[in-house]
């Protein structure tokens, strides 16, 4: 079997077009949806990411302001700036790019963002809302993965999903979203004993460890859906995921590529959360 590819670029394009329509509708009512992006320090990867986020926003019609602060900014100064953004009715979404410099407490910084503007979905209130099924903001990466399952018309009810990786921003929220769709969910991590025994049972595998070849062909049930959240580099410096794509695509029914899979979906879902935040504020 050769798996069908779930094209993250194509789906993200469709989602951006939807967001552009919602943005135009809000602007027609005199509201300009606005994402504030805060970058502290000069981490090279973060600089690229924030530029992408700002460009994506502007191309969709959303206003984005990118605030850059020096690495020696104090935590108190950052918290004060976040509180000012919380209080600014012209700002609908606030994103503080991670990682922050070591002298800052990331969780404390995240908890200072108003849950109503937490478009990353990292606030403890957002995590709690997801857990209990209340409206909130879902973290962009797992939400993008769920959209990819939706786009192939996959009915999760009664299916067994295995999530490999237990981070607060991907693995755990992913598991909650899958549970919310009536799937049976197993959360594993890279050192789970006999990981293969778990993944071989799975109708859906989400790999989110951040290590190459976490999932190989011998670990996948024929026909399973494989979602690859990883972003790694191989020996040649080329972008690759957590899944041995060449091998697994011969066994799986559906598979997401890297690049061109979950990555563009994560970026698209930030736009969805931002327009959602602006719409809620305008209600
Ligand atoms: N750093 C890497 N990924 C992310 C993300 O999705 N949001 C934020 N705020 N920082 C990140």
Residue with tokens 């009512």: 29
Are residues 102 and 155 located together in one domain of the fold? no
**201 assigned to some structural domain:** yes
Report, as an integer, the average pLDDT of 238-247. Answer: 97
244 and 160 in a common domain: yes
The question of whether 97 is a catalytic residue gets the answer yes
pLDDT, tens only, 49-106? 999 999 999 999 999 999 999 999 999 999 999 999 999 999 999 999 999 999 999 9
**Position 145 in a domain:** yes
| Number of domain units in the chain | 2
Report the atom number in ligand 1 closest to the C-alpha of 46. 1
Looking at the fold, whether 86 and 166 belong to one and the same domain comes out as no
Confidence (pLDDT) at 153: 98
**Pick the catalytic residue: 56, 97, 117, 249?**
97
Q: Is residue 233 part of a domain?
A: yes
Looking at the fold, whether 157 and 246 belong to one and the same domain comes out as: yes
Are 67 and 175 found together in one domain? Answer: no
Domain contains 274: no
Residue with tokens 């903001």: 137
The DSSP bridge pattern shows strands 239-240 and 232-233 to be antiparallel
State whether 98 and 160 are in the same domain.
no
DSSP per-residue letters across the chain: --PEE--HHHHHHHHHHHHHHHHHHHHHTT---EEEEEEES--HHHHHHHHHHHHHHHHTT-EEEEEEE-TT--HHHHHHHHHHHHH-TT--EEEE-SSPPTTS-HHHHHHHS-GGG-TT--SHHHHHHHHHT-S----HHHHHHHHHHHHTT---TT-EEEEE---TTTHHHHHHHHHHTT-EEEEE-TT-TTHHHHHTT-SEEEE-SSSTTSB-GGGS-TT-EEEE---EE-TTS-EE-SB-HHHHTTT-SEE--SSSSHHHHHHHHHHHHHHHHHHHHH-
Nearest-CA residue for ligand 1 atom 8 is 97
Rounded CA separation 33/25 (Å):
10
Cβ of 96 less than 6 Å from ligand 1: yes
Pocket test for ligand 1, best of 39, 49, 94, 273 (most atoms within 8 A of CB): 49
Nearest partner of 155 among 130, 133, 182, judged by Cα: 182
Tokens at 223, concatenated = 């026909």
2-54 pLDDT, tens digit each: 999 999 999 999 999 999 999 999 999 999 999 999 999 999 999 999 999 99
Confidence of residue 214 (pLDDT cuts 50, 70, 90): very high
**Residue 111 binned pLDDT confidence (cut-offs 50, 70, 90):** very high
Q: What separation in angstroms does the CA of 215 have from each of 39, 81, 103, 114, 248?
A: 34, 42, 36, 38, 8
Domain endpoint, select from 71, 99, 114: 114
In a domain, 5, yes or no: no
The pTM (predicted TM-score) of the whole model is 0.97
Q: Region 122-138: what's the mean pLDDT?
A: 97
120 labelled catalytic: yes
- Which of 97, 142, 173, 264 gets mutated to test ligand 1 (max ligand atoms within 8 A of its CB)? 97
Q: How many CB atoms lie within 10 A of CB 30?
A: 7
Sorting pLDDT into bands at 50, 70 and 90, what band is 127?
very high
Among residues 70, 98, 114, which one ends one of the domains? 114
Measured CA to CA, the distance from residue 160 to residue 179 in angstroms comes to 10
> 177: domain range?
140-263
126 in a structural domain: no
CATH of the domain at 36: 3.40.50.10860
Separation CA 250–CA 88 (nearest Å): 52
> Catalytic site residue 244?
no
Q: Which among 56, 120, 203, 228 is annotated as catalytic?
A: 120
Same domain, 49 and 160: no
Rounded CA separation 232/207 (Å)? 12
CATH of the domain at 172: 3.40.50.720
Atom of ligand 1 nearest to the CA of 270: 6
Query: What is d(CA 145, CA 161) in angstroms, rounded to the nearest whole number?
Result: 12
C-alpha of residue 161 to centroid of ligand 1, in Å: 25
Is residue 95 in contact with ligand 1, taking CB distance under 6 Å? yes
Of residues 217, 247, 241, 213, the one with CA closest to residue 227: 241
In sequence order, what are the residues at sequence separation of 6 or more whose Cβ sits closer than 8 angstroms to the Cβ of residue 96? 38, 40, 78, 82, 109, 110, 113, 120
């Amino acid at each position: 079997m050769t798996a069908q590819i779930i094209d993250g670029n194509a789906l993200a394009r469709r989602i951006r077009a939807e967001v552009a329509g919602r943005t135009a509708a809000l602007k027609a009512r005199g509201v300009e949806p606005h994402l504030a992006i805060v970058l502290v320090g000069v981490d090279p990867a973060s600089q690229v990411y924030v530029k992408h986020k700002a460009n994506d926003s502007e191309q969709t019609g959303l206003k984005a302001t990118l605030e850059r602060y020096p690495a020696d900014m104090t935590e108190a100064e950052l918290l004060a700036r976040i509180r000012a953004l919380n209080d600014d009715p012209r700002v609908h979404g606030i994103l503080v790019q991670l990682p922050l410099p070591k002298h800052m407490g990331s969780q404390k910084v995240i908890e200072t963002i108003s849950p109503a503007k937490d478009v990353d979905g990292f606030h403890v209130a957002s995590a709690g809302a997801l857990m209990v099924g209340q409206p909130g903001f879902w973290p962009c990466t797992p939400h993008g993965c769920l959209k990819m399952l939706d786009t192939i018309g996959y009915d999760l009810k009664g299916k067994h999903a295995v999530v490999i990786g237990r981070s607060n921003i991907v693995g755990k929220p992913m598991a909650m979203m899958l549970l919310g769709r009536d799937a049976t969910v197993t959360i594993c991590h890279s050192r789970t004993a006999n990981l293969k025994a778990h993944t071989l049972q799975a109708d859906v595998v989400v790999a989110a460890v951040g290590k190459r070849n976490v999932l190989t062909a011998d670990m996948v049930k024929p026909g399973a859906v494989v979602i690859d959240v990883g972003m790694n580099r191989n020996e040649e410096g080329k972008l690759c995921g957590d899944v041995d794509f060449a091998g697994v695509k011969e066994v799986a029914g559906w598979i997401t590529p890297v690049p061109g899979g979950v990555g563009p979906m994560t970026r698209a879902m930030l736009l969805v959360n931002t327009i959602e935040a602006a719409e809620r504020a305008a209600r």
